[in-house]
Chain A
């Protein structure tokens, strides 16, 4: 990794932390409030690519684990990982990686809709797979029950997929970071 890559990794850990400072948006139709923070993993992957994006989110989780209250609502410490929804946090790393990997693969031919599909695959499909599996184990539920308990969050996450894609493609046009390189 070049000096620049290290700085990008630290930057997107900080960007994701800063997103946690936004107050949650309550949407009347949805049962659960939307927090801006889970935009972070999608943006990190879509803007920095798989490796740097995943490292940035992993770095944020390290900062949280050592006791900084950087998750939305001022949460932090080890406890957040051990709760039933811990998989949705660890899953952020996977979400950034999958989104980044898909963006890297088709960087030069990316359109809004392919970008949105890739962000959805990383930021929702990959994230929920891990999160729901974890929830089922931690709370002693069947996968179906765990999934049923998580669907309420999906509409909010789809809104975030669309936002993250718009932002990532605008950044791609004016300040592209992922380039077509095989060495990453």
Chain B
């Protein structure tokens, strides 16, 4: 399975996922109370420094900002127009800090470590009747299903091309959904045949 993780051996890669996430929560909350351009700029320099520590290229850093580039620009213009350019800069700096920090965690933490941390973090839910085991089960199943659904979609599309239906999302979606629901029922049977018990008593 593809992931956004970028392998490495730096201190940031080795830091436990839980610590990094806690750091993100704390940083995100404090950023919200800061409205000083100098402090926010300083924070941004620190965050960029963290990318260097994690051995990321400048290209990687900019790639993280690209999806929000337009939103940030529009926001800046809107804010500058309504509340002055300082207010615009505060909003933009705050966002860039948050996005870059969050992306850095994603870049330096393996999916498997995230899953383990997630399982650990939801342990307390066991007391209110949620089975953490089931959460890791559905995570794995969803990852297993994605290529399967793409394959079924390709098959259905081919069958429809043969019948002259070219580009109808409805004509594609209906058979795909019905076929995958039937598949889901078969998989549930197969899981029970292999001794799975949704609610063991």
- Does A associate with B in a complex? yes
* A contacts, CB < 8 Å to B: 1-11, 13-15, 17-18, 21, 36, 39, 43, 47, 59-60, 62-63, 65-70, 73, 75-85, 138-141, 145, 149, 163, 166-167, 170-171, 174-175, 177
Selected contact of B4 from candidates A36, A77, A177, CB within 8 Å: A77
B118, CB-defined interface residue at 8 Å: yes
Type the 1/0 row for B166-201, where 1 means its CB is closer than 8 Å to any CB of A. 000110011001101111110110011000101100
B interface list, Cβ under 8 A from A:
1-5, 21, 24, 28, 64, 67-68, 71, 74-75, 78-79, 82-83, 87, 90-91, 95, 98-100, 102-103, 105-107, 109-111, 114-115, 118, 134-135, 137-139, 141-146, 148-150, 153, 169-170, 173-174, 177-178, 180-185, 187-188, 191-192, 196, 198-199
| Residues of A contacting B: mostly | helix
Decide: A62 near B139, CB < 8 A? Known: A14-B149, A77-B102.
yes
Q: How far does the alpha carbon of A76 sit from the alpha carbon of B3 in the complex, in Å?
A: 9
Q: Which residues of A contact B148 (CB under 8 A)?
A: 14
Contact B181 A171 (CB under 8 A): yes
Neighbouring B residues of A83 by C-beta, 8 Å = 68, 71, 95, 98-99
Of A17, A18, A77, A149, which one neighbours B103 at CB under 8 angstroms? A77
Q: How far is the CA of A167 from the CA of B142 in the complex (A)?
A: 21
Q: Complex formed: what's the CA distance from A77 to B64 in Å? A: 10
Task: State the CA gap A17–B149 with chains docked (Å).
Answer: 10
Asked if A66 contacts B118 (CB within 8 A), the reply is: yes
On chain B, the residues within 8 Å of A175 by CB distance are: 178, 181-182
Across the interface, do A9 and B138 meet the contact criterion of CB distance under 8 Å?
yes
* Residue among A3, A8, A85, A170 with max Cβ neighbours from chain B (10 Å): A3
Assess the B103–A10 pair: CB atoms within 8 A.
no
- Known contacts A3-B196, A73-B67, A175-B182; A59 and B142 CB within 8 A of each other: yes
- Whether the pair B139, A7 counts as a contact (CB closer than 8 A) is no
A76, chain B: closest CB distance, angstroms: 5
Q: Are the CB atoms of B173 and A6 closer together than 8 Å?
A: no
Q: Which of B91, B169, B170 contacts A139 (CB 8 A)?
A: B91
Q: Which residues of A contact B142 (CB under 8 A)?
A: 10-11, 13-14, 17, 59-60, 63
